[in-house]
Amino acid sequence: MNEGTKSLEQYVAQVHTHSQEMERALDVAADAYGIHAGIREMQAAVRSRYGEGHLVLSGEQTIMPLPKNVAKLVAAKALQHISDNVRVLNLRANLDLVGSEGDMYKVWIPSETSQTGYVDMAFMSRARLSKTPGLTAEGALLNDDQLQANVHAFTTGHLKFAYAGSHKVGERIVPDLDARVIDIFRQCYGLLPLGSETTEVHSGLPFPQPISLAQGHENFYSVVQQRLGIVPDLTIYESDLDPYLLRNGGYEVLARIWTSLQNEAIRSGINLSTIKPVQDDSRTPFNMSREGVRLLTIQEGDIVHVLDPRTQSTQESHHISDILREGSEFGVSLRAIPRVMLYSMAGISGHITGGGSVYNRDARELISLIHMPYFPLWNFDSLSSSPIQYVSMASYKSRAKARQNTQATIDFTRAGKASILDCVMSMYPEQAAQEIEDWIELNAGGIRPQSRVHITNKAGQVAEAYAAV
């Protein structure tokens, strides 16, 4: 089946058959590689923790989300509309490096004053990141004076400048800048609402006091999900799921096949894009972190030698069992290829991806070498335009004089490159939630990668009917 044209209804059929294919493969192939018991243990652990039925993974790094990230949850909700035997796990990669994705430490906002159509605000500078090698999303602490100052400057300066116009609602003239959104955003990152006379940051908001930049992103994403009516069945974190699988059969599976699969890829002439196979891979198949910093690791048998990248002076050695035990001092997250291979074998029946990332192709190639099926993928086509279409209030042409960069701003938004903060600033959440619900009800199983959700902005404009100045 052509991945680029597959409807969600066709995808659900693939999800339903994946577990059957896995059962057949286990009976035929897994015994030959000595991984049958390890896979069975993982599957039992997944059922015990997440229940029966078909589990479909949807997830992302702990970033300031873009519309395409939100679109994953729209697709997930549509899946459940089609089949009541599908449960969505929203996986958050909370141990990724801050510098690995710009969306982790920057926010992009449309701007008619820029020739590019946007401005970006960095909560942490590249220079600052370079001084803290190995910094994870959980390690960027919000009690840092510079980080707090940058968030404050963003909400008191940059946003006011970007949404400096106004629009009509009935007979009223309403500012494009929504002060309520700014106050919620500030509280998500542990700052008081503007003009607040209270010392209570989280009055009435459904999340705890954030400690890290990652938690700030998660708080805001959680608010967006609730207001748009796309809350997943369960949100889980790689720092919890990955070591859980490794403790329950996953490490045994990787210990038996990981290096041999890479060697077999060399012999078979398979061209892998995201990993370079080596004859003797001394890297652990998982990343390790401690105190918010990813560590350097070298593995010898069941012993892992660990080095802190900030000092690189003292090497420690730890046994695998100590690293993976529950309550360990280390954060553990699987590397990309071993991760999705284990997920596919562990009883997860499908994966809603952002853009069909290239590592999925590599994982499918490797897992086929042991004659095991790879879970089916589905994603919106987000290369040509964003799955969620709207007109930004930062580009809405209600100004006295339209600026020359309006088209660039519109194109930037249509491409889905603006932060979801702009999306929230530009729409009424209740109306947007209803439009998403109606769109799913109308299209459901017919939703395809090229499908688009059009949401009305606060000025009553819809992207498909909006013409640039």
- The pLDDT tens digits for 199-257 are 555 556 677 788 998 899 999 999 999 999 999 889 999 999 999 999 999 999 999 99
- Contact assessment for residue 28 and residue 36, using Cβ atoms and an 8 Å cutoff: no
- Tell how strand 234-237 and strand 166-169 pair up: unpaired
pLDDT at 187 over 60: yes
Nearest to 261 by CA among 351, 334, 363, 340: 363
| Cα–Cα distance for residue pair 374/363, rounded to 1 Å | 8
The torsion angles phi and psi of 370, rounded to 5 degrees, stand at -110, 20
| Dist. CA 110–CA 116, nearest whole Å | 9
pLDDT at 397 over 60: no
Chain centroid, CA 381 distance in Å: 16
pLDDT of 469: 34
Question: Which tokens in the block code for residue 369?
Answer: 């070498």
**The residue to which tokens 């994603």 are assigned:** 379
pLDDT of 273 > 80? The answer is no
Confidence tier at 20 by pLDDT (50, 70, 90): confident
Residue 80 clears pLDDT 70, i.e. is over it: yes
Farthest-apart Cα atoms in the chain, separation: 74
pLDDT value at residue 398: 42
Report pLDDT for 128: 79
For 412-430, write each residue's pLDDT tens digit: 888 888 999 999 999 999 9
pLDDT at 146 over 90: no
Helix (H) or strand (E) holding 82: helix 67-82
Mean pLDDT of the region 380-390: 86
Q: Are 377 and 292 in contact (CB under 8 A)?
A: no
Helix or strand run (H / E) with residue 359: helix 358-368
Q: What is the mean pLDDT of residues 280-308?
A: 89
**23 vs 464, more confident:** 23
Please spell the DSSP secondary structure of 119-141, one letter per residue.
EEEESS-HHHHHTSTTBBTTTSB
